[in-house]
């Protein structure tokens, strides 16, 4: 059953995009030696905190020049100060740039700024990491809720790909593209957020097919991470209704910080995936091993055998929400 299904996918892909007759060649991801990326530029959206900042730290350790592209000016300044010592020791530069990734013109402006600051250095890494949570349930979300979440989590990735990848191809240097999705992008979706993360995975899969190994492509699908994504509504642009942070989000954010894996663990997974050529980067918390694999396996079982979208529960998510409920009852 699985073999026939995989073959069908390959046939469908051939009709949309010509690929080599050898299936192994069609599925081969470029995986540049990390040393080959040294000296280049690592463009990281959402780069001033969380996973993005951890990726910037790893980029500096790999002798790359990180660009901290973020919507929060204060966080950019703090991150630049935090990274200054390591960057100086590594002989690289850090560029901070405020950008709203849902704004196409702003992202292309970012690409121009990178070109001007680093005219003789290729973009070695493009990390489409900026993301937001929220959006709510499908039936309750408003039009601007949909626009905000999909604008950042999907169109934001597409904007970065369109602004940078043609330049990376023209430069002809080894390079890697990483987009941050979620474990929710691999399991039966829930809410507007889940829809956006499935779309992010699909975008990366399509890009992988189109590039045909000219650049490596990876989609990061982490479990719970200790970041500020739960309160990302604080950064809503005015055209999407303006900033908002609900009291209900604060206990959940506290749970993410307490039980989530450190962002540096995600960065380790990403750089390991680039080195090995792994497309799906399932970054799992140490105390919830195998959960993302179970999520993906259950989804495929539902599609191929049962015809139903099952979603197994997560002990780690349960801890977060149990803590939030306890906080609210205090």
| Distance of alpha carbon 91 from alpha carbon 11, whole angstroms | 48
The 3-state DSSP class for residue 128 equals strand
- The conformational region for residue 263 under phi > 0 = left, psi -120 to 50 = alpha, else beta, is alpha
Contact assessment for residue 219 and residue 181, using Cβ atoms and an 8 Å cutoff:
yes
Task: Quickly count: other Cβ atoms within 10 Å of residue 290's Cβ.
Answer: 10
Task: Quickly count: other Cβ atoms within 10 Å of residue 123's Cβ.
Answer: 27
Total H helices, total E strands in the chain: 13, 7
Told to judge if 293 belongs to the known catalytic residues of this protein, a careful annotator would answer no
| Distance of alpha carbon 220 from alpha carbon 204, whole angstroms | 10
Tokens 């929710």 belong to 184
Nearest to 47 by CA among 231, 151, 180: 180
Q: Which residues contact 150 (CB under 8 A, 6 or more apart)?
A: 192, 195, 196, 199
Concatenated DSSP letters of 170-196: HHT---EEEEE--GGGTSS--HHHHHH
How long is the chain?
Answer: 330
Q: What residues are labeled active site?
A: 193
């Amino acid at each position: 059953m699985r073999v026939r299904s995989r073959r069908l996918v390959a046939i469908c892909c051939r009709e949309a995009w010509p690929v080599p007759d050898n299936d192994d060649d069609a599925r081969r991801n470029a995986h540049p030696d990390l040393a080959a990326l040294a000296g280049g530029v690592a463009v990281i959206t959402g780069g001033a905190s969380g996973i993005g900042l951890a990726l910037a730290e790893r980029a500096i350790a790999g002798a790359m020049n990180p660009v901290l592209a973020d919507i929060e000016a204060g966080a950019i300044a703090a991150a630049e100060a935090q990274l200054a010592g390591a960057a100086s020791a590594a002989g690289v530069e850090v560029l901070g740039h405020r950008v709203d990734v849902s704004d196409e013109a702003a992202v292309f402006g970012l690409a121009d700024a990178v070109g001007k600051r680093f005219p003789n250095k290729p973009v070695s890494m493009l990390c489409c990491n900026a993301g937001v949570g929220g959006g709510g349930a499908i039936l309750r979300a408003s039009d601007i809720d949909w626009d905000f979440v999909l604008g950042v989590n999907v169109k934001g990735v597409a904007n970065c790909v369109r602004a940078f990848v043609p330049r990376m191809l023209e430069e002809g240097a080894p390079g890697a593209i990483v987009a941050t999705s979620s474990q929710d992008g691999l399991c039966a979706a829930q809410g507007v957020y889940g829809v956006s993360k499935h779309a992010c995975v699909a975008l990366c899969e399509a890009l992988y097919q189109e590039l045909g190994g000219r650049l490596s492509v990876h989609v990061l699908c982490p479990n719970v991470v200790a970041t500020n994504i739960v309160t990302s509504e604080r950064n809503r642009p005015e055209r999407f209704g303006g900033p908002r942070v609900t009291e209900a989000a604060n206990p959940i954010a506290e749970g993410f910080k307490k039980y989530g894996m450190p962002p540096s663990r995600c960065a380790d997974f990403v750089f390991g995936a680039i080195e090995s050529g792994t497309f799906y980067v399932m970054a799992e918390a140490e105390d919830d091993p195998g959960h993302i694999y179970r999520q993906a396996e259950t989804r495929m079982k539902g599609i191929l055998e049962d015809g139903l979208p099952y979603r197994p529960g997560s002990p780690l998510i349960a801890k977060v929400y149990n803590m939030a409920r306890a906080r609210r009852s205090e």
